[in-house]
Structure 1
Amino acid sequence: MTDDTVLVVGAGPVGILNALGLARAGIPVTVLDRAPGVVRSPRAAIYHWAALDGLERLGVYEQAATRGFLKQDYEYRAYKTGERVRFGLDPLEGLVERPYNLHLGQGALVEIALAELAAHDSATVLWQHTVVAVDQDDDRVTVTVETPDGVRTSTAGWLIGADGASSAVRKAVGLPFEGFTWPERFVATNVRYPFAEHGFAQSTFIVDDVYGAVIAKLDDSAGGGLWRYTYCESQDLPEDGVLDRMPDVHRAVLPTPAEVEVAEWAPYRMHQRVAPRFREGRVLLAGDAAHVTNPSGGLGLTGGLFDTFVLQEALAAVVHGTADQSVLDAYSRERHRVFVELVDPAATAIKKMIFHNSDPEQLERDMAGLRRLATDRDALIERLMLTKRMETPSLIGAW
Structure 2
Amino acid sequence: MQHQQQVIVAGAGPTGLLTALGLAQQGVSVTVVERGSALQDTPRAIVYHWSTLDGLSRLGLLDKASAAGFLKQDYAYRVRDTGEIIPYGLQALEGKVARPFNLHLGQGALAAVVLRELQKFDNARVLFDHPISGVKQDDAGVTVTFSGPGAETVLSAQWLVGADGAGSTVRRVLDLGFDGMTWPERFVATNIRFPDDREGWAQSTFYVDDVYGAIIAKIDEDGDHGTWRYTYMEDAALPADSIDDRMPAFLSAVFGPEVAVGIEIVATSPYRMHQRAASSFRAGRVLLAGDAAHATNPTGGLGLTMGLFDAYALIETLGAVALGQADDSVLTAYARERRAAFVEKASPRASANKRLLFHSSDPVARDRDLEMFRRMSHDREFAAEVLRFTKTLESPSLLADRIGRPARADERENVL
TM-score (norm 1): 0.98
Instruction: Give secondary structure in 2 for the equivalent of 1:358.
Output: coil
Q: 1:149 deviation in Å?
A: 4.6
Matched to 1:316, the amino acid is G
Give, as a single letter, the amino acid of the residue that structure 1 aligns with 2:399.
I
Separation in 2, partners of 1:369, 1:138: 52
C-alpha separation in 2, matches of 1:94 and 1:224? 34
C-alpha separation between the residues in 2 aligned to 1:208 and 1:276?
34
Q: How does 1:255-334 map to 2 (within 5 A)?
A: 255=256, 256-334=259-337
Q: Which residue of 2 aligns with 1:244?
A: 245
Aligned to 1:377: 380
Structure 1 partner of 2:160:
159
User: How far off its partner does 1:18 sit?
Assistant: 0.4
Whether the 8 Å CA contact 1:196–1:202 is kept in 2: the answer is no
Q: Report the Cα distance in structure 1 between the residues aligned to 2:49 and 2:399, rounded to whole angstroms.
A: 24
Aligned residues: 397
Match of 1:176 in 2: 177
Corresponding residue of 2:414: none
CA-CA distance at 1:211 after TM superposition: 0.5
Q: Which residue of 2 aligns with 1:232?
A: 233
**Aligned counterpart, 1:23:** 24
TM-superposition CA deviations, 1:274-299 (whole Å, max 9, x none): 01211100000000000110001000
Per-residue CA deviation, residues 348-367 of structure 1 (Å, 9 max, x unaligned), is 00000001110111121122
Matched, 1:366 2:369: yes
Give, in angstroms, the shift of residue 369 of structure 1. Answer: 2.4
SS at match of 1:252: helix
One-letter amino acid matched to 1:288 = D
In the alignment, the residues of structure 2 paired with residue 337 and residue 15 of structure 1 have an alpha-carbon distance, to the nearest angstrom, of 20
CA distance in 1 between counterparts of 2:103 and 2:224 reads 20
CA RMSD of aligned residues (A): 1.1
Aligned to 1:108: 109
CA distance in 2, matches of 1:79, 1:40: 31
Task: Check conservation: 1:4, 1:319, Cα contact below 8 A.
Answer: no
Q: Distance in 1 between matches of 2:281 and 2:71?
A: 32
Aligned mate of 1:356, from 355, 359, 362:
359
Give the Cα–Cα distance (whole angstroms) in 2 for the partners of residues 148 and 63 of structure 1: 37
Counterpart of 2:130 in structure 1 is 129
Q: Distance in 2 between matches of 1:127 and 1:288?
A: 19
Letter paired with 1:352 = R
Q: Which letter maps to 1:177?
A: F
Normalising by structure 2, what TM-score? 0.94
Listed as ranges, the gaps of 5+ residues in structure 2 are 404-416
Residue 139 (structure 1) aligns with: 140
Residues in 1 aligned to 2:113 and 2:150: alpha-carbon distance in whole angstroms: 28
How far did 1:148 drift?
4.1
Q: Structure 1, residues 260-286: CA drift from partner, whole Å, max 9, x if none?
A: 110001100000000121110000000
Q: Give percent identity, aligned residues only.
A: 54
Match of 1:386 among 362, 365, 389: 389
1:360-379 deviation line (CA, Å, top 9, x unaligned): 11121122222111122222
Please identify, of 286-295 and 141-150, the stretch whose mean Cα deviation from structure 2 is larger.
141-150
Supply the distance in 1 between the matched residues of 2:66 and 2:149 (Cα, whole angstroms). 36
Gaps of 5+ in 1: none
Q: Report the Cα distance in structure 1 between the residues aligned to 2:374 and 2:199, rounded to whole angstroms.
A: 22
